[in-house]
Amino acid sequence: MSATATATTALPIATGNWKIDTIHSHVGFAVKHMVVSTFRGRFEDYAGSLATSEDGRPVLQGSVKVDSILVKDENLAGHLKSPDFFDSERHPEIRFSSTAVAVAEDGGLEVEGDLTIKGHTHRVTARGSITGPHVDIAGNDKLGVELEAIVDRREYGLEWNAPLPKGGFALDNDVKLEVSLELVREA
Amino acid sequence: MRILGLSGSLRRDSHNTSLLRGAGKLLPAGVELEVFDRLAQIPPYSEDLEHETPPAVAALRAAIAGADAVLVATPEYNASIPGALKNALDWVSRPIATTPLRDKPVAVVGASTGLFGAVWAQAELRKVLATIGARVIDRELPIGQADEALGPDGLPVERDVVEQLSATLDELLELTAPSRLAA
């Protein structure tokens, strides 16, 4: 995809204010463990919007409650909330705010922005697609946004790991953030 | 031929005990797997108790002595071997000159509800068993997220994991009866 090359910051398909419909959205992550297996988790409590700023630029922002992390194993969820990982007691929220949104003619989407996890803020680039607007059966204007970004969890202070008995490490450092959003136009 | 299954979990619906029963289904005709079920009755090891062997310890020693090989399935507590299992091995290791584990072919597998399938507990078990004098297969089988990874019959759901379990059993049988397999 070459979103940057054909980018337009005017984003004509998404002017106005759009709010994430959390019933139909997904905010999650995937990380390799035991060298070859992939583990996925998600967050249940989050909010966000795509809005047009005063200068006409689109801004995508959102926040996630760390304690809403959902994984299959209760003990693992507890470990992920602990200081080894997110330290949700001291850092209850993950935040993202875009600095640049670029849409290609083919719907390719590139979003650059600041991601804050556990008190660490870093610039990330997420790539994916945007579809719509589309009027749903209830008469609402909707946009679909898919984004993925890969981050090194150690940059955000999520440093836990353990060497495996036969070589390699328990958990990969690269984590894929997977966001699938349905946005509804605000009246 | 007999294989003794030793589960490191005392829980009634243990994934590891289930895994042992699943492994039993993969064994060829003529090979039986019996699961030792008295781990919870073994008291904490003390040299003071050695003059009068506790019945459950005697039962475990006899079960190991009567088996051609041992298959251990372990959960993991705090990145290590569950206390009850380690305690049982400490009992059986004494006296070291006559332990029934000496030269006994042993394989270690493990399941956990977490991501890592008791991989560190398995490594520590291999170390402990080798120290006692067992012939331990240098192979691990970590089955993580056991709630979904194991079927109700104790067999892994994914075919490649079943194959790994089969390969572990094959190697255990090979170590047990090299002459039989060579024939």
Kindly give the pairing relationship between strand B105-111 and strand B69-74: parallel
pLDDT tens track for B22-37: 999 999 999 999 999 9
- Cβ distance A166 to B148 less than 8 Å, yes or no, reads no
Q: How far apart are CA A30 and CA A38, in angstroms?
A: 7
Handedness of CA B55, B5, A167, B113 (dihedral sign): negative
Supply angle C-alpha B68, B50, B65, rounded to 5.
Answer: 10
Could you list the pLDDT tens digit for every one of the 187 residues in chain A? 444 444 444 445 567 899 999 999 999 999 999 888 899 999 999 999 999 888 888 999 999 999 999 998 888 899 999 999 999 999 999 999 999 999 998 889 999 999 999 999 999 999 999 998 888 888 889 999 999 999 999 999 999 999 999 999 999 999 999 999 999 998 7
Q: Is B15 helix (H, G, I), strand (E, B) or coil?
A: helix
Structural domain count, chain B: 1
Looking up residue B102, the CATH number of its domain turns out to be: 3.40.50.360
- Cβ distance A166 to B140 less than 8 Å, yes or no, reads yes
Structure tokens at A17: 């204010």
For testing the chain B interface, which of A72, A80, A161, A175 should be mutated: the one with the most B CBs within 10 Å?
A72
- Cβ distance B115 to A75 less than 8 Å, yes or no, reads no
Q: Are B94 and B128 in contact (CB under 8 A)?
A: no
For testing the chain A interface, which of B15, B108, B116 should be mutated: the one with the most A CBs within 10 Å?
B116
Show residues of chain B in contact with A162, CB under 8 Å: 79, 120
pLDDT tens track for B34-80: 999 999 999 999 999 999 999 999 999 999 999 999 999 999 999 99
Place of tokens 């204007």: A141
Q: How far apart are CA A104 and CA A143, in angstroms?
A: 15
Identity of the amino acid at B156: P
> Which structural domain, as residue segments, surrounds residue B22?
2-182
- pTM given for the model: 0.85
- Cβ distance A165 to B122 less than 8 Å, yes or no, reads yes
- Cβ distance A73 to B115 less than 8 Å, yes or no, reads yes
Structure tokens at B141: 């089988």
Q: Are A184 and A23 in contact (CB under 8 A)?
A: no
The 10 Å Cβ neighbour count of residue B11 is 10
Kindly give the pairing relationship between strand B142-143 and strand B105-111: parallel
Place of tokens 């630029």: A57
Structure tokens at B91: 């009992």
Residue A35 near chain B (CB below 8 Å) = no
Q: Is B91 helix (H, G, I), strand (E, B) or coil?
A: helix
Q: How far apart are CA A68 and CA B59, in angstroms?
A: 49
Q: How far apart are the first and last CA of chain A?
A: 33
User: Which residue ranges form the domains of chain A, and what is each CATH number?
Assistant: 12-185 (2.40.128.110)
**Residue B113: alpha-carbon gap to chain centroid:** 18
